[in-house]
Structure 1
Amino acid sequence: MSTITVEQTAALANNWLPSSAGIVELFALSAGYLTLPEKYFVHPASENSRRTVPSLAFLIQHRHPATGKLTRIVFDLGLRRDVKRYSEPIQRHVSTRQPLTTDPDVVKSLAAGGLRPDDIDYVIYSHMHWDHIGEPRDFQKSTFVIGHGSWDLFKPTETSSLRGSHSFFEPGILPDDRTIELNDAETVSKNEKKPSIIPGDANFGQPWTTHSEMDIHVLDIFNDGTVNIVHAPGHLPGHINLLVKTSSGQRIYLAGDACHDRRIVRKELEIGEWLDTAGHICCIHADRKKAEETIERIRQLEHKGVEVIFAHDVEWVENAKNQSRFWGV
């Protein structure tokens, strides 16, 4: 999330990046705030305890060292600036997440650094929940990338097992001709990764592999170790994360909604559950067991020195040193 010179990049490349690795920068984007009733997210929690948290998005800029090709990626779009444009069921849910603000949204945050939606090549979604999907129609020239199984969430028959007022989705919100659904990560290839056809192009169609250092399944989209899409099951079908190596030497893991509260990662609290009006046990994660396994892998990444940032990471945002890591600051 810091800018470095070409000379510094070259020196770093000799130490830990392949000689063909791209020059990569990562910036946070403010994309609204919402308020979470803690009893639905952590246990134990008092009945009336509430916490206002950010909905973070991120800008990734990758430049190929030989061709100079620049690729801009936005990871998640956060809250929609006009909440009245959500579907009726989602609007009812939004009313339970007050106070809430959508200013600035992703478009305004990009503009703070001189970028427009048309400058963004790819929008990668961690998952399809309302507080991450934002306003896709703003990005008329971008290609959207979603995790395997995400398309099925737009089919009512496929979401009947998902409980809770947060489990509503909007069919038709993504353009069919500009949306890529990733391959199934449960089938991991042991073969060599297929390189991009053109150096510097992002390759989303290659098979998933196991990361050479970490127990995670990844797509190394530029085939240079800098930007990896990570299979992160549990929260919602198609939930994915990003593992980024910046040219300043940082390894940063963008964890989406793998966890909603750092106290769970620290084992101070557990994942919350509640009963719906029909007496069914509900959880913010579609598959709690897989979510706990993903959280444990994230714990191990932190032990390896990887910085982890969650989408609703209020502790990260409240750390004063991170304010300079937002785009346009």
Structure 2
Amino acid sequence: MPCFRTRFCTLLASAFMAVAAHAQTPVPSPATLPDVGFAIIKTSQVAVPEVLLVPGGSVTRQVHSNFSAFLVKHHNDFLLFDTGMGSQIDRQYQQGMPLWWRPFFKYDKPVASARAQLDQAGMPPLKRVILSHSHWDHAGGVQDFPEASVGVAAAELVRVHAPSTGPGGTWESQIGAASIQWEPLVFQPVPFKGYPESLDVFGDGAVVLVPMPGHTPGSVGLFVTVDSGKQYFLVGDVVWTMAALQQGAPKFWVAGKLVDDDALQTQASLEKLRRLVQSEPDLVVIPAHDSAVQDPLGYFPAWVR
């Protein structure tokens, strides 16, 4: 039956579209959430020659490098480990990435920021963000979470207060806002998994931070023990892929010179991680950019539990 009242038809059509859009948006209910678990939020990716990420890899074969954030749930608390690309990344990139490095350090558009994905899923605003380190592809969404404190190691605060540009920089456009609520992470002399210092975030051993310096002075990793009892280790950019970790190989030499603050210290952190994996083969290590590890685990709103 045709509609003769245009305004009514328009409103009716809008209502149907809204219902349909809502039906397509997976909204996690409390019953579907883990008690302790995490979700990988992929904000963007980029295809790069395999040789840049995998020692001995192909020059012609392309593999995906992810830009991911990690949403950690601990009972009734949530925190975000890294932010990936944020809603303002295009402007930040124009200001922070020199023209001559843009062909080599880039990202796919459109970007699906962590904040946009969380808002779409009906998640409440987060109160805590922790950065594995302050590079552009990890801190790009800091300003999307004005309600949250932003935790970094004390050594990383030095970079925050003296920002620089480039692929290995800490960009003023991302971390320079006076409104950002910085939270210095205070590690305790409590050994954990072979690391001499640690920070037990919730006091029960389920979510534990450890220093992993080298890539930047204040780089940190995060252990998460989920409902199943399985333990995961989010290691930021200490290593870019598990293939490189298995070989104990440093980053591709040109990239390493650009992004690793201290090559020897980075290699020492990699070797420590390698020894841990050899001693605990059930531990799952998740480099921040390794799509081969992240794809099988799934992406938000799917949860690792």
Task: Quote how far apart the aligned CAs of 1:143 are.
Answer: 0.7
Say what the alpha-carbon RMSD is for the aligned residues. Answer: 3.3
TM-score, structure 2 normalization: 0.75
SS in 2 for 1:132: helix
C-alpha distance in structure 2 between counterparts of 1:252 and 1:175, whole Å: 34
Give the letter for the 1:123 counterpart. Answer: V
Q: CA 1:145–1:302 in 2, change beyond 3 Å: closer, same or farther?
A: same
The one of 45, 51, 63 aligned to 1:33: 45
Q: Name the counterpart of 1:195.
A: none
Where do 5+ consecutive residues of structure 2 fail to align?
1-28
CA contact (8 A) 1:39 1:273 kept: no
Give the letter for the 1:254 counterpart. Answer: L
Q: CA 1:38–1:151 in 2, change beyond 3 Å: closer, same or farther?
A: farther
In the TM superposition, 1:239-250 aligns within 5 A as 239-250=219-230
C-alpha distance in structure 1 between counterparts of 2:196 and 2:152, whole Å: 18
C-alpha distance in structure 2 between counterparts of 1:122 and 1:208, whole Å: 23
CA contact (8 A) 1:127 1:236 kept: yes
Mean Cα deviation higher: 42-51 or 174-183: 42-51
Task: Quote how far apart the aligned CAs of 1:214 are.
Answer: 3.3
Q: Name the counterpart of 1:128.
A: 134
In the TM superposition, 1:74-223 aligns within 5 A as 74-86=80-92, 88-90=95-97, 92=99, 93-98=101-106, 100-116=108-124, 118=125, 120-156=126-162, 165-171=166-172, 172-175=175-178, 178-183=181-186, 207-211=188-192, 213-223=193-203
C-alpha distance in structure 2 between counterparts of 1:237 and 1:318, whole Å: 29
Q: CA 1:315–1:177 in 2, change beyond 3 Å: closer, same or farther?
A: closer
Q: CA 1:216–1:311 in 2, change beyond 3 Å: closer, same or farther?
A: farther
Q: CA 1:34–1:148 in 2, change beyond 3 Å: closer, same or farther?
A: farther
In the TM superposition, 1:304-315 aligns within 5 A as 304=280, 305-315=282-292
Give the letter for the 2:293 counterpart. Answer: W
Q: Name the counterpart of 1:259.
A: 239
The one of 65, 80, 84 aligned to 1:53: 65
Task: Quote how far apart the aligned CAs of 1:227 are.
Answer: 0.9
Q: Name the counterpart of 1:194.
A: none
CA contact (8 A) 1:41 1:273 kept: no
Task: Quote how far apart the aligned CAs of 1:176 are.
Answer: 6.0
Task: Quote how far apart the aligned CAs of 1:155 are.
Answer: 4.7
For the pair shown, the structure with the greater C-alpha radius of gyration is 2
CA contact (8 A) 2:135 2:171 kept: no
CA contact (8 A) 2:53 2:244 kept: no
C-alpha distance in structure 1 between counterparts of 2:98 and 2:122, whole Å: 31
CA contact (8 A) 1:28 1:57 kept: yes
Task: Quote how far apart the aligned CAs of 1:53 are.
Answer: 1.1
Question: CA-to-partner distance for each residue in 1:107-159, whole Å, 9 max, x for gaps?
Answer: 2322353214x2x1200001111111122222121111012222221455x86
Q: CA 1:239–1:102 in 2, change beyond 3 Å: closer, same or farther?
A: farther
Question: CA-to-partner distance for each residue in 1:136-185, whole Å, 9 max, x for gaps?
Answer: 222121111012222221455x86xxxx93123233535466211224x5
Q: More helix by proportion, 1 or 2?
A: 2
Q: How many residues align?
A: 269
Give the letter for the 1:34 counterpart. Answer: V
Pair 1:327-2:304 in alignment: no
Pair 1:300-2:281 in alignment: no
Q: CA 1:35–1:90 in 2, change beyond 3 Å: closer, same or farther?
A: farther
Query: Identity of aligned pairs, percent?
Result: 21
